[in-house]
Amino acid sequence: MFDWVSIARGMGVEAARAQSCEQFGDLLDSVLTRRGPFLIEAVI
């Protein structure tokens, strides 16, 4: 299994993992106010 968060961070992209719908919603709300790329890994 790939660790997408580590891969993204290794390439200079901020990233986080969401393990629930609530976490995903919170992350999405916060990244929509930022500039630049941000990876959200959604674990389903």
Q: Residue 1: what pLDDT?
A: 82
Token pair belonging to 9: 């961070």
Q: Are 2 and 28 in contact (CB under 8 A)?
A: no
pLDDT in tens, 1-44: 899 999 999 999 999 999 999 999 999 999 999 999 999 999 98
Q: Residue 7: what pLDDT?
A: 98
Give this prediction's pTM: 0.85
Domain spans of the chain, in order of start: 4-42
Nearest Cα to 25, choosing from 38, 12, 42? 42
